[in-house]
Chain A
Amino acid sequence: EVQLVESGGGLVQPGRSLKLSCAASGFTFSSFPMAWVRQAPKKGLEWVASISSGGGGTYYPDSVKGRFTISRDNAKSTLYLQMDSLRSEDTASYYCARQGTGGKYYFDYWGQGVMVTVSS
C-alpha cells in the first residue's frame, strides 16, 4: 500500500523558514518523480514544486521560485520542501504527492497534508 506521511508544519512568522518532510513507503520511491501541492483554507489546489526521480531536475511556479527548494533522499525514501522567506499567502495545507512517470505531471497518490500558518 502506497503511503505518504507529511510532517514539519506549524505556525511561523513572516520572513522565517520552515522545512517539510514526507516519508514514503509501499513503492519504489527512487523510481518516481514527486511533488508538493498546496491548498489555502477554503481555496483550490496549487502546484508548488516537483522533482525528478533521481533528484537532478526541480521545477517551481513563479509564486515560490527562489524561496522554496524541493529535495529528496532516495536512500531514506523521503521528500523535503524547504520554505524560506515565508509570506502570509503561503498559509495552506501542503500535500506531498507521487507524480506519474513519463513527464505527465498528474498526481496519483497524496499524503494527508500538513498545515503551515504564516502569521505574526
Chain B
Amino acid sequence: DIVLTQSPALAVSLGQRATISCKTNQNVDYYGNSYMHWYQQKPGQQPKLLIYLASNLASGIPARFSGRGSGTDFTLTIDPVEADDTATYYCQQSRNLPPTFGGGTKLELK
C-alpha cells in the first residue's frame, strides 16, 4: 500500500498563508495526472473534498484553496487563512488500490 505522510499540526495567523504538505512513498503520477486529493474535516462533520487530481478545485470551494505537486510531494495552500478554516486536512492517493489517506494535519490559529 502507498503510505502518505503529513505533519500532525500547523499553526497560522489569520490572514496569512497556510501550506500543508503530503509526501508519498511511491510516485502517484499516471498518464499525465497526479492521483492526489485533499479533504477538509471539521469536528463532528464528514470530510469535504477540496482538491482533486492534485490541483483541481472541487465544486463550491473558494479560490483561497489551491493544490500543487507531482510525483511524491504535494501541498495544499490556503491563502488567506480565515477563522472558519480551522479543521483537519487529509491527503489521499488513488494511484493504486487500496486508496489510502494521510494521517491528517490539524490547522490551528495562532
A 93-117 contacts with B by CB, 8 A: 95, 100, 104-113
**On chain B, which size bracket covers the interface?**
20 to 34
* A106 in contact with B92 given A47-B98, A59-B97, A61-B98 (CB within 8 Å): yes
B53 and A104 contact, CB distance less than 8 A: yes
A44 and B104 contact, CB distance less than 8 A: yes
The chain B residue with its CB closest to the CB of A93 is B46
Best-surrounded residue of B97, B103, B104 (most CB of chain A within 10 A): B97
A44 and B99 contact, CB distance less than 8 A: no
Interface residue B90 (Cβ < 8 Å from any Cβ of A): yes
Interface residue A73 (Cβ < 8 Å from any Cβ of B): no
- The docked-state distance in angstroms from the alpha carbon of A109 to that of B60 is 12
Residues 38-58 of chain A, each 1 if its beta carbon lies under 8 Å from chain B, else 0: 000000111100000000000
A104 and B46 contact, CB distance less than 8 A: no
B residues near A46, Cβ cutoff 8 Å: 101
Interface residue B35 (Cβ < 8 Å from any Cβ of A): yes
* A104 in contact with B35 given A44-B104, A45-B92, A47-B98 (CB within 8 Å): yes
* A106 in contact with B37 given A45-B47, A45-B90 (CB within 8 Å): yes
Interface residue B100 (Cβ < 8 Å from any Cβ of A): yes
B97 and A107 contact, CB distance less than 8 A: no
Closest chain-A Cβ to B34's Cβ sits at a distance in Å of 11
Interface residue B65 (Cβ < 8 Å from any Cβ of A): no
B residues near A47, Cβ cutoff 8 Å: 98-101
B 32-81 contacts with A by CB, 8 A: 33, 35, 37, 39, 45-49, 52-53, 58-59
A interface, CB within 8 angstroms of B = 37, 44-47, 59, 61-62, 95, 100, 104-113
Given contacts A59-B98, A106-B92, 15 further A-B contacts (CB under 8 A): A44-B90, A45-B92, A45-B101, A59-B97, A61-B98, A100-B52, A104-B94, A105-B97, A106-B37, A106-B49, A106-B94, A107-B49, A108-B58, A109-B49, A113-B46
